[in-house]
Amino acid sequence: MDTKPWEKYLGADDRAVLERGRFARRMGFGIRPAVVVIDAQRYMVGEEGNDQNWPSSCGAIGRSALKQIQRVVEQAQKSEVPCFFTTFELDSNGGDIGVYGRKRDLLDSDHWCLAGTVGAELVPELRPGKNDIAFVKKKPSGFHGTPLLGYLIDRKIDTVVVVGGATSNCIRATVFDSSSYNFRTIVPHEAVFDRIAVSHAISLFDMDRQFADVVSVADLLSYLRECDGK
Amino acid sequence: MDTKPWEKYLGADDRAVLERGRFARRMGFGIRPAVVVIDAQRYMVGEEGNDQNWPSSCGAIGRSALKQIQRVVEQAQKSEVPCFFTTFELDSNGGDIGVYGRKRDLLDSDHWCLAGTVGAELVPELRPGKNDIAFVKKKPSGFHGTPLLGYLIDRKIDTVVVVGGATSNCIRATVFDSSSYNFRTIVPHEAVFDRIAVSHAISLFDMDRQFADVVSVADLLSYLRECDGK
Amino acid sequence: MDTKPWEKYLGADDRAVLERGRFARRMGFGIRPAVVVIDAQRYMVGEEGNDQNWPSSCGAIGRSALKQIQRVVEQAQKSEVPCFFTTFELDSNGGDIGVYGRKRDLLDSDHWCLAGTVGAELVPELRPGKNDIAFVKKKPSGFHGTPLLGYLIDRKIDTVVVVGGATSNCIRATVFDSSSYNFRTIVPHEAVFDRIAVSHAISLFDMDRQFADVVSVADLLSYLRECDGK
Amino acid sequence: MDTKPWEKYLGADDRAVLERGRFARRMGFGIRPAVVVIDAQRYMVGEEGNDQNWPSSCGAIGRSALKQIQRVVEQAQKSEVPCFFTTFELDSNGGDIGVYGRKRDLLDSDHWCLAGTVGAELVPELRPGKNDIAFVKKKPSGFHGTPLLGYLIDRKIDTVVVVGGATSNCIRATVFDSSSYNFRTIVPHEAVFDRIAVSHAISLFDMDRQFADVVSVADLLSYLRECDGK
């Protein structure tokens, strides 16, 4: 990876702590990867020039990451690496929102994540292929209350690539679960995005230090190309 | 809460995003709390004047937070609020470390978290009481691969208070799971700690914004006192 | 319960074992119940006079139990006790069937459980009400890979009533999970059904002995009526 | 398998149902097995001539199965197939028993499953080897609230062999979870045991029909021998 987005936030003391604890070695790629695309939905990336009407849009940062996500998904589909697409959807009557409804207003908008609205749709740039599965989740992690884990075991996956958004919320929760289940977990940093720059950078730092490899999209694409035909 | 440790990291753009998405309302306390004490072990807080011999010690910051954790646990035990103590332990032969062993060296030290060493012990300042349970975990979240969830359901808990360390790793993973299972989730900010200052501050910010209430220890103690005798 | 369908299968030796181990006490009803309706779908109950064209139909036994399920759901909805309806659906391309596909042929029939077919539909006699949620599951247990657990915690449920089919498969798996999460778990025996008579009877026996209360529909309805207005 | 212990319980109608639904094909062995030994503890197999003093003993049936379990474990250890040993233990103060405490008396006996008693010990005939892990569970399934799933994923296991007891309770709950996570799941019928003969036979039947292969110990040993050196 050329640049580490978090370096500017660390001081000499922090580097000494990392050295002493011998953190941040490389997990490395395994031999059977899958790509998990988290919440690549319209409500997450909004609309150019109109983001003020998309209350949870990550704006230009989201749309830029989406181009990188497309590259990852295209190469994965070409190499017959399975892709799993989550979408986050809530019922408009609030029946399934749980305690999250206490932190956020349940927004009455077609541009948010309500089931059946345009906001909840997968972005049109991404389409599940013949080896892929899309499913709804109700919580940050792509594993929580979903069939994802069994899909990965069934396909003998050992390496989980996580892309989408937001870095500090759904990406991070998915990465926690993936590495806790002992999958090698890979985060290509240009293919994840967040509303808040410092949250994005520090979540990448925390994940790379303890339970995932943060890599460049270029390095990930090289690896996925090597998987072709295996 | 008097101070928000994350404010200095945010700019005007970030504040506009938060306003637009209507984040960070209060989850609020419920009526049946439990306290989950995460990894309050010797290896996490080291030894004054000798931290260089405790490879994962959080140093003075950890020892300071420990005093606040003691206050929380004492009031909880007095109010008959159940406390659950996790300890993170690994077998010295590496058999249970999983992919985490690829990110960290498995350190051959009695001052780390190896099962049977002094480092893995619960700190002597904290003792489980008659309503409490201690158990081992193998992954960041106190829920992952442990009986915690059933203990909470059995006691009809609706509010989970999370204390201990580290903020950006085990605290955050536990908070993700707790709020995903729809418990009101509370983080008293002086009673959690981290090796890295910016990771601590930004994890508190991310949690308070989306899936927990970050509160002061003083406010938490008031609440726990009110629970006495209920 | 007037009759225990399993008594005829037990001998004196079996009764001595039960006596020695002090099995089969009453779990009892709690104060906040929910009803979980498992796979009450067309493919499970077939069509009178035409069951040979519904490959997994439980036949007249299923249709008879359905009448009892209706009574339970109607009273629950009247008493504002939440009902959760699972449906078991598989993709026709086999992508989500996993190892189950090795035990069963993936049947190419509109009268089986393929997503989008008439067989996969909830039976028309049952309709989710305003407090209810319906969701798809991919495995026997209503908890496995679904959001059910969080829904129950969010509503402070302490008692889970399980109805539907089949007794020895999806009912039993759901009951295992429910009692393992420490919910009081109740099975009204006329409101569950199975293709095989001895499997039905012995599963009821095993559950009543160890991890659920098998009760009559009449006793359950009395309890649900008492919950009205609470 | 030479004999199917359940055949005598089935009638012509049952056989017609099985034929119509095309149940009970073979799942088959995969390429990376693990053995999960469920609750092979003293309290489960009692003592010859003294079973009346072991309240949950499965008696001679348990001790006979234990000899078969030994053969399976010995061959697995020789072939470097990992073995995972669960023990079921409860705190004597009842703090962790949950709703199970409502079905059973919490027995005040050193010959039951209380933590720290002789009854809770693994039987002396079985010893974890260098590739093996032993851990405590609190519920029927070996997966529920334990680290087992991550251990299997870390070792790229695709086939889970389940032995121990009791067939209708902990074996069956473990088999449900194993096949729901999409592991090929194998039950050698002479190496599982139950207190109640009909519960044993019908649980084998139900599992073989839907979510596991019930095989003979002889066939399993042939397979494990073939795994040697792979």
Q: Of the candidates D151, D153, D180, which has its C-beta nearest A183's C-beta?
A: D153
* Least confident piece of the model among B69-83, C99-113, D25-39, D167-181: C99-113
Q: What pLDDT does residue D121 have?
A: 97
Q: What pLDDT does residue D19 have?
A: 83
Q: Reduce the DSSP state of residue C162 to 3 states and report it.
A: strand
Contact between B153 and C180 using a beta-carbon 8 Å cutoff = no
Which stretch of DSSP H or E encloses residue B136?
Answer: strand B133-137
Q: Of the candidates D139, D179, D184, which has its C-beta nearest C180's C-beta?
A: D139
Report, as an integer, the average pLDDT of B116-125: 97
**Amino acid letter, residue B155:** R
In tens digits, chain A (230 residues) has pLDDT values of 456 889 899 999 898 888 887 777 899 999 999 999 999 999 999 999 999 999 999 999 999 999 999 999 999 999 999 999 999 999 999 999 999 999 887 888 999 999 999 999 999 999 999 999 999 999 999 999 999 999 999 999 999 999 999 999 999 999 999 999 999 999 999 999 999 999 999 999 999 999 999 999 999 999 999 997 66
Determine the Cα–Cα distance for residues D129 and D131; give it in Å rounded to an integer: 6
- Over the stretch D73-106, which tens digit does the pLDDT of each residue have? 999 999 999 999 999 999 999 999 999 999 887 8
Task: Using an 8 Å CB-CB cutoff, list chain D residues near A180.
Answer: 150
Contact between D182 and A150 using a beta-carbon 8 Å cutoff = yes
Determine the Cα–Cα distance for residues A160 and A180; give it in Å rounded to an integer: 12
What Å distances lie between residue B155 and A50, C77, C184, D10, D99, CA to CA? 48, 27, 12, 43, 11
Contact between C107 and D22 using a beta-carbon 8 Å cutoff = yes
Counting every residue, how long is chain C? 230
Counting one residue from A and one from D, how many pairs have CB atoms under 8 Å apart? 23
Contact between A202 and B197 using a beta-carbon 8 Å cutoff = no
| Nearest residue to C62 (alpha-carbon basis) of D21, A25, D209 | D21
Q: What tokens were used for C70? A: 């209706």
Bond before B166 cis per omega within 30 degrees = yes
Tell me if A22 is assigned to some domain. no
Report, as an integer, the average pLDDT of B186-198: 96
Tell me if C14 is assigned to some domain. no
**Amino acid letter, residue A51:** D
Task: Using an 8 Å CB-CB cutoff, list chain B residues near C151.
Answer: 182
From the CB of residue B10, how many other CB atoms can be counted at a distance below 10 Å?
18
- Over the stretch D6-21, which tens digit does the pLDDT of each residue have? 889 999 989 888 888 7
Residue from B32, B143, B154, B156 whose CB has the most chain C CBs within 10 Å, to mutate: B156
Domain of B155?
30-226
Q: Of the candidates D28, D100, D102, which has its C-beta nearest C102's C-beta?
A: D28
**Amino acid letter, residue C64:** S
Tell me if D20 is assigned to some domain. no
Determine the Cα–Cα distance for residues D153 and B138; give it in Å rounded to an integer: 14
Q: What pLDDT does residue D226 have?
A: 94
Q: Compute the mean pLDDT over every residue in chain B, rounded to the nearest whole number.
A: 94
Torsion of CA A72, A76, A78, A79, to 10 degrees: 140
Residue from D47, D144, D182 whose CB has the most chain C CBs within 10 Å, to mutate: D182
- Over the stretch C146-199, which tens digit does the pLDDT of each residue have? 999 999 999 999 999 999 999 999 999 999 999 999 999 999 999 999 999 999
With a pLDDT cut of 70, the percent of chain D lying above it is 98
How close C133 gets to chain A, by Cα (Å)? 8
Counting one residue from B and one from D, how many pairs have CB atoms under 8 Å apart? 42
Residue from D148, D154, D156 whose CB has the most chain A CBs within 10 Å, to mutate: D156
Cross-strand pairs, D133: D84
- Residue D55 pLDDT exceeds 70: yes
Tell me if A6 is assigned to some domain. no
Tell me if B17 is assigned to some domain. no
Determine the Cα–Cα distance for residues B202 and B214; give it in Å rounded to an integer: 12
Tell me if A25 is assigned to some domain. no
Tell me if B14 is assigned to some domain. no
Torsion of CA B70, B71, B76, B82, to 10 degrees: -20
Signed CA dihedral, A28, A29, A30, A35: sign only: positive
Determine the Cα–Cα distance for residues D88 and D83; give it in Å rounded to an integer: 16
Q: Of the candidates D153, D158, D183, which has its C-beta nearest A182's C-beta?
A: D153
| Nearest residue to C164 (alpha-carbon basis) of C87, C74, C54 | C87
Task: Using an 8 Å CB-CB cutoff, list chain B residues near D131.
Answer: 95
Contact between D182 and A158 using a beta-carbon 8 Å cutoff = no
Contact between D27 and C102 using a beta-carbon 8 Å cutoff = yes
Contact between A153 and D182 using a beta-carbon 8 Å cutoff = yes
Partner C, chain B 122-181, Cβ-Cβ below 8 Å? 149-151, 153-154, 156, 158, 180-181
Signed CA dihedral, D40, D152, C38, B178: sign only: positive
| Nearest residue to B162 (alpha-carbon basis) of B210, B121, B205, B213 | B213
Q: Is C230 exposed, middle or buried (0-12, 13-18, 19+ CB in 10 A)?
A: exposed
Q: What pLDDT does residue B3 have?
A: 64
**Amino acid letter, residue A151:** Y
Contact between A103 and A127 under an 8 Å Cβ cutoff? The reply is no
All residues at 6 or more sequence positions from B98 whose CB lies less than 8 Å from its CB, including other chains: A182, B138, D150, D151, D154
Task: Using an 8 Å CB-CB cutoff, list chain C residues near A139.
Answer: 147, 150
Bond before D65 cis per omega within 30 degrees = no
Q: What's the number of domains chain A is made of?
A: 1
Residue from C179, C182, C184, C185 whose CB has the most chain B CBs within 10 Å, to mutate: C182
Residue from A22, A51, A54, A103 whose CB has the most chain B CBs within 10 Å, to mutate: A103
Task: Using an 8 Å CB-CB cutoff, list chain B residues near C154.
Answer: 182
Q: What pLDDT does residue D4 have?
A: 81
Contact between B170 and B140 under an 8 Å Cβ cutoff? The reply is yes
Report, as an integer, the average pLDDT of C18-31: 86
Q: Of the candidates D10, D144, D199, which has its C-beta nearest C202's C-beta?
A: D199
Contact between A21 and B205 using a beta-carbon 8 Å cutoff = no
Q: What pLDDT does residue D3 have?
A: 64
All residues at 6 or more sequence positions from B133 whose CB lies less than 8 Å from its CB, including other chains: B82, B84, B85, B151, D91, D95, D96
Q: Of the candidates B102, B144, B180, which has its C-beta nearest A180's C-beta?
A: B144
All residues at 6 or more sequence positions from D11 whose CB lies less than 8 Å from its CB, including other chains: none
Tell me if C6 is assigned to some domain. no
Neighbours of chain D (3+ CB pairs under 8 A): A, B, C
Report, as an integer, the average pLDDT of B149-171: 98
pLDDT grade, residue C106 (50/70/90)?
confident
Minimum CA–CA partner of B23 in chain A: A104
CB of A183 within 8 Å of a chain D CB? The answer is: yes
How close D33 gets to chain A, by Cα (Å)? 13
| pLDDT higher at C33 or D21 | C33
Determine the Cα–Cα distance for residues A194 and D13; give it in Å rounded to an integer: 60
Neighbours of chain A (3+ CB pairs under 8 A): B, C, D
CA angle C142, C134, A148 (to 5 degrees): 55
Query: What CATH number is attached to the domain comprising D191?
Result: 3.40.50.850
Residue from C106, C109, C199, C203 whose CB has the most chain D CBs within 10 Å, to mutate: C199
Determine the Cα–Cα distance for residues A173 and A192; give it in Å rounded to an integer: 13
How close D100 gets to chain C, by Cα (Å)? 6
Minimum CA–CA partner of C14 in chain D: D196
Q: Is D16 exposed, middle or buried (0-12, 13-18, 19+ CB in 10 A)?
A: exposed
Q: What is the interface pTM, i.e. ipTM, of the complex?
A: 0.95
Q: Of the candidates D21, D25, D196, which has its C-beta nearest C56's C-beta?
A: D21
- Residue B230 pLDDT exceeds 80: no
All residues at 6 or more sequence positions from A133 whose CB lies less than 8 Å from its CB, including other chains: A82, A84, A85, A151, C91, C95, C96
Report phi then psi at D84, rounded to 5.
-115, 125
Task: Using an 8 Å CB-CB cutoff, list chain A residues near D30.
Answer: none
Q: Compute the mean pLDDT over every residue in chain D, rounded to the nearest whole number.
A: 94
How close A216 gets to chain B, by Cα (Å)? 18
Residue A64: how many CA atoms within 13 Å on its side-chain side? 9
CA angle D77, D80, D85 (to 5 degrees): 50
All residues at 6 or more sequence positions from D81 whose CB lies less than 8 Å from its CB, including other chains: D33, D34, D35, D75, D131, D224, D227
- Residue D43 pLDDT exceeds 90: yes
Determine the Cα–Cα distance for residues C1 and C187; give it in Å rounded to an integer: 11
All residues at 6 or more sequence positions from C23 whose CB lies less than 8 Å from its CB, including other chains: C209, C210, D103, D104
All residues at 6 or more sequence positions from A211 whose CB lies less than 8 Å from its CB, including other chains: A175, A176, A179, A180, A185, B99, B100, B103, B140, B169
Determine the Cα–Cα distance for residues A119 and B179; give it in Å rounded to an integer: 24
| pLDDT higher at B93 or C22 | B93
Cross-strand pairs, B165: B193
Partner D, chain C 206-225, Cβ-Cβ below 8 Å? 206, 209-211
- Over the stretch D101-146, which tens digit does the pLDDT of each residue have? 998 878 889 999 999 999 999 999 999 999 999 999 999 999 999 9
